[in-house]
Amino acid sequence: MKQHQKMLLGIVIGTVAGIAANTLAGGTPWLDWVVTNITALVGQLFLRLLLMLVVPLLFSALVMGVCELDLKQLGRLGLRTMGYTVVVSCIAVLIGLVLVNTLKPGLGLSDEARALAMKGTSVKAAPTPSDTSVPSLIAAMVPSNPLKAAADGDMIALIVFSLIFGLGLAMTPTEGAQRLRETIQGLHDVMMKLIDGVLKLAPVGVGALLFSMMARLGVGVLMQVASYVGVVLLALGLHMFGVYSLSVRFLGGRNPLAFFRDCRLAIVTAFSTASSSATLPTALKVAEENLKLPRNVSRFVLTAGSAMNQNGTALFEGVTVLFLAQVFGVQLSLSDQAVVMFICVLAGIGTAGVPAGSIPVIAMILGLFKIPPEGLALVLGVDRFLDMCRTTLNVTGDLAAAVYVSRGEPSLVTDPEPSRLEPGSSAS
């Protein structure tokens, strides 16, 4: 079996077994013991193995990506990537807000669901708006201590440091700098080799993660908020298969069917890990080996996109805020919703690409508009599944952005293989 087929099998087995365990033995001591001490542990080890490699991989890939660029390209790539990210993120949030206002998933919830919404949560809110002013955000992008930024998971600051470091390395034509460049390339090669080994464990890790989630939650909570889940999935689907297909076709000059087929390994990895950062190594492999994008461009766009191009996160945050406003009867005017949209786009750029990274940001937005943050209990019940879905959109968006930015670059392969252009051909 191919790797993506093994991962899909792990997803199916983990989900079905988890639901069966919840139905037949939900709440029993032995099932709680199995989930806590075996399946959750295996799943967390798998995630930690992936996340362990993210910082050195991101640093080495971005530094080498800058070094391999013609320095005249760097400003152009950055502007094209950022411009694409902002525009597509705005479209994503707008799709979500239109669907929530049209379908109104927060109205008509059962009394049981409302009671669940009133229960307290342990979620900590993100920094207050005074700490997220534009000058503060800009200043925070430049780390005073890059090691501390890496340790704190501040990917934006780490990306800025990596870009500056790579730029300095590219502009230093000394023998020592050349040896350092070879060392960083060696670091990247080692990280990619380790990623290959970790991905061989993916079917087991994925199955364990999903078994733990379904054994604890079952399908009851999903049924209580089915309308909310449906709106999120509909919005994500419209953006992924509508907006990205148009982007790949008209901005990237590629066949959307071939694009999604070539990206399937990264898509499945994103869905199973619910982490853009953890999926970055796989996305880099897909971009270089399947999509045949120029390595210097794909490294730059994907490493930056794993932290900044969070379309699915921005969409999810907008839908969730409006959904909980409807649940608690808080009326948000069009101007309020415009502010929500603006904050979600910025949050999508700055949210950590790790599981549940958007929850603290949502708590901050709820407090800003005086929506009871206790309502997050509703979302937390289904957040793992939705996190998997929105991460899939995030990663696919990174690859779509890489296709767009790569088009027209001098190192782009101008005569793609026929299999990349014909929808009926087989993918590598």
Which two tokens mark 383?
């957040």
| Nearest-angstrom CA–CA distance, 422 and 428 | 13
310: left (phi over 0), alpha (psi -120 to 50) or beta: beta
| Nearest-angstrom CA–CA distance, 305 and 83 | 12
| Nearest-angstrom CA–CA distance, 292 and 306 | 19
| Nearest-angstrom CA–CA distance, 169 and 72 | 15
DSSP letter for 288, please. Answer: I
Judged against a pLDDT cut of 60, whether residue 179 lies above it is answered with: yes
* pLDDT of amino acid 415: 41
Distance (Å) of CA 157 to CA 62, 198, 313: 13, 27, 19
Q: Which residues contact 95 (CB under 8 A, 6 or more apart)?
A: 235, 238, 239, 243, 315
* pLDDT of amino acid 230: 92
The more confidently predicted of residues 307 and 18 is: 18
Q: What is the pLDDT of residues 62-114, one digit of tens each?
A: 788 777 665 666 677 778 887 888 899 899 999 999 999 999 887 765 554 45
Judged against a pLDDT cut of 60, whether residue 16 lies above it is answered with: yes
Contact 321, 362 (CB under 8 A): yes
**What SS3 state is found at 27?**
coil
Q: What is the mean pLDDT of residues 165-173?
A: 88
Q: What is the pLDDT of residues 322-341, one digit of tens each?
A: 998 888 778 888 888 888 88
Instruction: Walk me through the domains of the chain, giving residue ranges and CATH numbers.
Output: 74-173+221-421 (1.10.3860.10)
Which two tokens mark 365?
């937005």
The more confidently predicted of residues 248 and 115 is: 248
The more confidently predicted of residues 185 and 155 is: 185
From 307, 406, 415, 305, select the one nearest 69 (Cα to Cα).
406
Computed on alpha carbons and rounded to an integer, the radius of gyration of the chain in Å comes to 22
206 band by pLDDT with thresholds 50, 70 and 90? confident
**What SS3 state is found at 333?**
coil
- pTM for the model stands at 0.64
Judged against a pLDDT cut of 50, whether residue 130 lies above it is answered with: no
| Nearest-angstrom CA–CA distance, 426 and 428 | 7
| Nearest-angstrom CA–CA distance, 5 and 170 | 41
Measured in degrees and rounded to the nearest 5, phi and psi for residue 293 equal -80, 155
Which two tokens mark 86?
């902002």
From 369, 378, 383, select the one nearest 115 (Cα to Cα).
378
Query: Rounded to 5, what percent of the chain is helix, strand, coil?
Result: 80, 0, 20
| Nearest-angstrom CA–CA distance, 428 and 407 | 21
Judged against a pLDDT cut of 60, whether residue 418 lies above it is answered with: no
| Nearest-angstrom CA–CA distance, 344 and 358 | 10
DSSP letter for 241, please. Answer: I
Which two tokens mark 352?
């950590």
| Nearest-angstrom CA–CA distance, 221 and 232 | 15
| Nearest-angstrom CA–CA distance, 283 and 84 | 18
176 band by pLDDT with thresholds 50, 70 and 90? very high
